[in-house]
Amino acid sequence: MNVTHLECGLCGLEHEARRLHNLCRACGKPLLVRYDLNRSKTTLTKESLAARRPDLWRYREVLPVDHDDNLISLGEGWTPLLRAERLGQNVGIRELYIKDESQNPTQSFKARGMAVAISMARELGARRVAVPSAGNAAGALAAYAARAGLESYIFMPRDTPRANVVECEQTGAHVTLMDGLITDCGVEVGRRKDAEGWFDVSTLKEPYRVEGKKTLGYELAEQLNWELPDVIVYPTGGGTGLIGMWKAFAELEEMGWIGPKRPRMVTVQAAGCAPIVRAFEQGQRFADEFPNAATTASGLRVPKAIGDFLILDALRASGGTAVAVTDEELIEATREIGAAEGVFCAPEGAACLPALRKLIEMGQVNAGDRVVLFNTGSGVKYMESFDGVATRP
Ligand SMILES: Cc1ncc(COP(=O)(O)O)c(C=O)c1O
Ligand SMILES: [Zn+2]
């Protein structure tokens, strides 16, 4: 297809595309996929999209899979961009949208990354895949691995939402629950993978999950008729979605589909685990590990992200920022968004609302800005988070 090579996101070293890779062999940072976009755009045209499949594979020419036989799909992507008028009135934004990623297979945006990563793992010959996960990535991996006929090995913190544990077991994964955080689970995968013959699909430790997630950026552009919003508010753990969208915008510009103007990218984190917010405020390019990470928004409980510099570079280059919200605020926001718009958000997605209010208060977002909030998953998987705020039977 149109992939030319992989390129290190930090040192730029080129790596050959058609074999399994994890991190840059020189500096140990994430690898990004590069395409011959002049070639991609000969068949991927705005007009051609009208007749294409309603999932992320509509952007086939800017995705890495060579052979259609290797394309593993459960119907991921092409989720609705919902206009949120009532919520917009609540906060004082005239044009507010929710990109509703809860409508993906396995109910979160993790399906996008795993669909592409597992398609590539199969194409390049992996048989067994392993991942440390906060929960939703595990559910997605288990489902796509099953669909691809691969064996999956999943490591999650013991206090991961029960729905994530059950879904992995019921879709055939080997599940291990660990005391500690996602970072501890990552160490365990790293320690055992060679002996066990596992391919490590940790976020940004292989090059293709970010390719799946970048389709968020393509979709947003297409759904807004190739005019990007002014502000994107994104709940950030490992940051793959934000990094992916930023990459998508660069590719779209290179193909001549959009101009140089970019949305201000805003990272939202939980106050109990806000390494990127802290690094942003302190002017650092790399984020220190956040001590004693704790939040009910399990997907945001990522104390150290390997793509930290890619997130922070994008926030700064876009004129965006990083905001922390408390667990109390984000749980309350689930009900406000649900009651106003009928979308039952994951706590991570709900966190975008109190973050937006803070941005408005600080004068960083105005009534006339076109704003997109990312609801990255479904509240249905987080029953434990609503203990005490919802009625029990
Ligand atoms: C629902 C939800 N939102 C957001 C995130 C954070 O995603 P990212 O790694 O792209 O920052 C996660 C990650 O687990 C998640 O499950
Ligand atoms: Zn490198």
pLDDT at 261: 97
Q: Is the pLDDT of residue 391 over 90?
A: no
| Contact 221 CB / ligand 1 (< 6 Å) | no
Cα of 7 to ligand 2 centre, how many Å? Answer: 8
Please list, residue by residue across 176-203, b when 16 or more beta carbons sit within 10 angstroms of its beta carbon and e when fewer do: bebeebbbebbebbbebbeeeebbbbbb
The overall average pLDDT reported for the chain is 97
Cα of 304 to ligand 2 centre, how many Å? Answer: 18
> 14-15 and 128-132 as β-strands: parallel, antiparallel, unpaired?
unpaired
Query: How many angstroms from the chain centroid is the CA of residue 182?
Result: 16
pLDDT one-digit tens code per residue, 72-124: 999 999 999 999 999 999 999 999 999 999 999 999 999 999 999 999 999 99
Sign of CA dihedral 124, 20, 201, 131: positive
pLDDT at 390: 75
Percent of the chain with pLDDT over 70: 99
pLDDT at 388: 81
pLDDT one-digit tens code per residue, 320-346: 999 999 999 999 999 999 999 999 999
Give me the phi and psi of 157, to 5 degrees please.
Answer: -60, 150
The bound ligand whose nearest atom lies closest to the alpha carbon of 100 is 1
pLDDT at 355: 98
For 268, the token pair is: 């939202």
Mean per-residue pLDDT for 341-365? 98
Atom of ligand 1 nearest to the CA of 134: 14
Nearest alpha carbon to residue 316 among 393, 214, 219, 246: 246
Query: pTM for this structure?
Result: 0.97
How would you write the chain as a 3-class SS string?
CCEEEEEECCCCCEECCCCCCCCCCCCCCCEEEEECHHHHHHHCCHHHHCCCCCCHHHHHHHCCCCCHHHCCCCCCCCCCEEECHHHHHHHCCCEEEEEEHHHCHHHECHHHHHHHHHHHHHHCCCCEEEEECCCHHHHHHHHHHHHHCCEEEEEEECCCCHHHHHHHHHCCCEEEEECCCHHHHHHHHHHHHHHHCCEECCCCCCCCHHHHHHHHHHHHHHHCCCCCCCEEEEECCCCHHHHHHHHHHHHHHHCCCCCCCCCEEEEEEECCECHHHHHHHCCCCCCCCCCCCCCCCHHHCCCCCCCHHHHHHHHHHCCCEEEEECHHHHHHHHHHHHHHHCCCECHHHHCHHHHHHHHHHCCCCCCCCEEEEEECEEHHHCHHHHECCECCC
For 45, the token pair is: 């045209």
pLDDT at 123: 98
pLDDT at 273: 98
pLDDT one-digit tens code per residue, 125-143: 999 999 999 999 999 999 9
The bound ligand whose nearest atom lies closest to the alpha carbon of 10 is 2
By the 8 A CB rule, do 177 and 117 touch?
no
352/235 Cα distance (integer angstroms): 7
pLDDT at 389: 85
Nearest alpha carbon to residue 212 among 103, 310, 76: 76
| Contact 351 CB / ligand 1 (< 6 Å) | no
| Contact 346 CB / ligand 1 (< 6 Å) | yes
Q: Is the pLDDT of residue 379 over 70?
A: yes
Mean per-residue pLDDT for 1-23? 97
Mean per-residue pLDDT for 180-194? 96
pLDDT one-digit tens code per residue, 265-302: 999 999 999 999 999 999 999 999 999 999 999 999 99
pLDDT at 210: 98
pLDDT at 1: 84
Cα of 240 to ligand 1 centre, how many Å? Answer: 8
pLDDT at 392: 66
Q: Is the pLDDT of residue 254 over 90?
A: yes
Ligand 2 ion: residues within 5 Å (CB)? 8, 10-11, 13, 24, 26-27, 29
Nearest residue (CA) to ligand 1, atom 7? 237
For the chain, what's the residue count?
A: 393
Side-chain-side CA neighbours of 49 within 13 Å: the count stands at 20
Percent of the chain with pLDDT over 90: 98
